[in-house]
Amino acid sequence: MSRIAENLTQVRQQLRKSAENAQRNTADITLLAVSKTRPADDLRIAYQSDQRHFGENYLQESLDKINELSDLAIVWHFIGPLQSNKTKAVAENFAWVHTIDRLKIAQRLSKQRPSDLAPLNICIQVNISEEESKSGCLPSELTQLAQDISQLPNISLRGLMAIPKATDDPAEQLAAFAKMKSLQLELQALHPHLDTLSMGMSGDMDAAVSQGATIVRIGTAIFGKRDPKSPT
């Protein structure tokens, strides 16, 4: 078995265990394979092990892979920072965008979404650790932003996404994810269909699942360490 296939088996086992510990159904949690900086062949290997959801951060790199892998039924998620001059290609090529933190970007995506495609699934990124350098809207801005985005025609607002401040302290990890869960519950009072919490990476998947993650975004644990020279 290839290394990637072995890793996938292991990550799926861990995910099952985390779900069991949290008394949750594994089927309610989507494993998103984060494939930034990886060659298309690595994604093909993961696909052959039944992986269907892939997350990409860099637009040009992702368009090359989408083109090269067009024979596969991949569900593409955009999880990188998105500038307004790049929205068109994202609206045309992705099923999900996890990193919306401004109304303007969502408006453009809605306008540019081709009418023969299903509405674009969107998560609002929350700057949950309130770090100055981080993208994401502040928790205090969330209600208004969700209200505005939910009015857009070709967008399906699905939930929230976060990249909490990196820490090895399990208590801190749990606290950030618990805050996300409570924000989701607050929003669900107004928008009952918001079913998605995109949170948890290779280093904190278990904590995220324990607090209700429905999409975990896993790169390193599936594909191995990224080249430190490439961005993030």
Ligand X SMILES: *Cc1c(COP(=O)(O)O)cnc(C)c1O
Q: Which is nearer to ligand X, 152 or 221 (CB)?
A: 221
Q: How far is the CB of 131 from ligand X (least distance, A)?
A: 14
Distance CA 201, CA 79 (A): 12
Q: Which is nearer to ligand X, 38 or 108 (CB)?
A: 38
Residues in contact with ligand X by CB under 6 A are 34, 36, 57, 79, 163, 201-203, 217-221, 232
Distance of CA 215 to CAs 30, 104, 156, Å? Answer: 5, 25, 16
Q: Which is nearer to ligand X, 146 or 222 (CB)?
A: 222
Q: How far is the CB of 69 from ligand X (least distance, A)?
A: 19
The residue with its CB nearest to ligand X is 219
Q: How far is the CB of 198 from ligand X (least distance, A)?
A: 8
Q: Which residue has the tokens 């324990």?
A: 210
Q: How far is the CB of 19 from ligand X (least distance, A)?
A: 18
124: closest CA among 91, 148, 87, 99?
99
Q: How far is the CB of 129 from ligand X (least distance, A)?
A: 14
User: What ranges make up the beta strands (E) of the chain?
Assistant: 30-34, 53-56, 75-78, 96-100, 120-125, 155-161, 196-198, 215-218
Q: How far is the CB of 74 from ligand X (least distance, A)?
A: 17
Q: Which is nearer to ligand X, 64 or 186 (CB)?
A: 64
Sign of CA dihedral 165, 169, 170, 172: negative
Q: Which is nearer to ligand X, 144 or 220 (CB)?
A: 220
Distance of CA 171 to CAs 20, 175, 218, Å? Answer: 20, 6, 21
Concatenating the DSSP letter of every residue in 44-81 gives HHHHHTT--EEEE--HHHHHHHHHHTTTS--EEEE-S-
Q: Which is nearer to ligand X, 6 or 148 (CB)?
A: 6
Tokens for 212, please give them.
Answer: 């209700």
Distance CA 99, CA 215 (A): 14
